[in-house]
């Protein structure tokens, strides 16, 4: 399994700058829900066009996301976006979490550098793929 600790984490500080809102800065520097889940109902691993990778894990109970975690080897922006995506997913029913989009993540984070907006798309796409992975395993309990 790919190890995020061997990733480009050391570059994170270099990618954070004045265009980050205080919320985005906090999520970039102190990402929530980082690291794999040992037991999970859904998982997805996507490499974005920029070459960075994001992985999401979901723990689901009663068709509701109890826990969402992630890792990325991307920049500070991708850490902020992955972190916010996990926060937006938790407590939602799987179909609601699948509908979390790039714009939802960007709005929740506040200001983000324009050139980092694709990181929110990668986070939204990976969350959606993890939800689809859960559903494809026939573990849906409506
Ligand atoms: Fe690659 Fe943000 S720069 S995901």
- Closest-CA residue, ligand 1 atom 4, reads 119
How distant, in Å, are the alpha carbons of 53, 58, 79, 111 from that of 120? 12, 18, 10, 12
Ligand 1 within 6 A of CB of 50: yes
- Residue 142 domain flag: no
Ligand 1 within 6 A of CB of 52: yes
Number of domains in the chain: 1
- What pLDDT score does 112 carry? 86
- Residue 5 domain flag: no
Q: The whole model's pTM is what?
A: 0.88
Q: Which residue has the higher pLDDT, 116 or 95?
A: 95
- What pLDDT score does 19 carry? 84
- Residue 11 domain flag: no
What are the pLDDT digits (tens) for 104-122? 999 999 978 888 899 999 9
Domain extent for 22: 16-134
Q: Which helix (H) or strand (E) holds 60?
A: strand 53-61
What are the pLDDT digits (tens) for 56-74? 999 999 999 999 999 999 9
Averaged pLDDT for residues 128-136: 97
- Residue 9 domain flag: no
The CATH number of the domain where 74 resides is what? 3.90.1010.10
Closest to 82 in 3D by CA, of 19, 37, 127: 127
- What pLDDT score does 13 carry? 58
Centre of ligand 1 to C-alpha 116, Å, is 7
- What pLDDT score does 1 carry? 45
Report the DSSP pairing between strands 42-47 and 53-61: antiparallel
Active site amino acids: 50, 119
What are the pLDDT digits (tens) for 3-39? 454 444 445 555 566 789 999 999 999 999 999 999 9
């Amino acid at each position: 399994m790919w190890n995020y600790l061997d990733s480009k984490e050391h570059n994170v500080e270099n990618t954070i700058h004045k265009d980050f809102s205080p919320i985005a800065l906090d999520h970039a520097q102190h990402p929530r829900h980082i690291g794999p889940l040992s037991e999970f109902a859904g998982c997805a691993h996507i490499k974005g066009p920029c070459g960075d990778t994001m992985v999401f894990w979901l723990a689901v109970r009663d068709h509701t996301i109890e826990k969402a975690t992630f890792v990325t080897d991307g920049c500070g922006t991708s850490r902020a976006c992955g972190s916010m995506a996990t926060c937006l997913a938790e407590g939602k029913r799987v179909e609601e979490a699948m509908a979390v989009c790039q714009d939802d993540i960007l709005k929740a984070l506040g200001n983000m550098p324009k050139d980092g907006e694709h990181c929110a798309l990668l986070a939204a796409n990976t969350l959606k793929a993890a939800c689809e992975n859960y559903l494809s395993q026939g573990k849906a309990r409506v």
